[in-house]
Amino acid sequence: MEQKAVAPAIDADSMHVLILAALAADTAVVVLSFACGLMMGVSVATESSGSFGVAKGLGWASIALGLAYSAIMIIYQIKVGPRILLKGPVFDYDLSMQPPIVLAVGGYPVSFILYLWYRIRKRDVV
């Protein structure tokens, strides 16, 4: 089988950094969300306002990282542009956003907007 010679992409390094940042942000969202849920349980069990404050802070940090993840993935997809399928020497690489990623990229901002809309309707702004 003949080995194909593949020229490196000019922007491969910046795209690599973007995708690693997105992976780190999404992982942090999961960890912070879990910690937030745990602290909410502690605050209810102990009736502690301090624990509730920590849970609230973790929740806001999770929201911020979710929005950062969405922004990073949108920038990444813009940089990918029309290069949806890259031919490699052994494997082809599909750079299109898979359905779970599309849901996350759209879900984080939409859920944040719905939360703000709910709070404004209650007249209890953040």
27-80 pLDDT, tens digit per residue, is 999 999 999 999 999 999 999 999 999 999 999 999 999 999 999 999 988 888
Give ∠ CA 67-69-74 in degrees, rounded to 5. Answer: 100
Picking from 83, 75, 96, 73, the residue whose alpha carbon sits closest to that of residue 9 is 83
Among positive and negative, which fits the CA dihedral 121, 122, 123, 126? Answer: negative
**Residues contacting 48, CB < 8 A, separation 6+:** 42
pLDDT of residue 4: 54
Please give the mean pLDDT across all residues of the chain. Answer: 85
> What are the CA-CA distances from residue 99 to residues 7, 86, 96, 104, 124 (Å)?
30, 19, 9, 9, 35
pLDDT of residue 115: 87
Beta strands in the chain (DSSP E): 85-87, 92-94
Percent of the chain clearing pLDDT 70 (strictly above): 88
Picking from 107, 18, 125, 21, the residue whose alpha carbon sits closest to that of residue 67 is 107
What pTM was estimated for this model as a whole? 0.76
Among positive and negative, which fits the CA dihedral 62, 108, 104, 17? Answer: negative
Question: Which amino acid, one-letter code, is at 1?
Answer: M
Separation between Cα atoms, residue 45 and residue 54, nearest integer Å: 14
Percent of the chain clearing pLDDT 90 (strictly above): 52
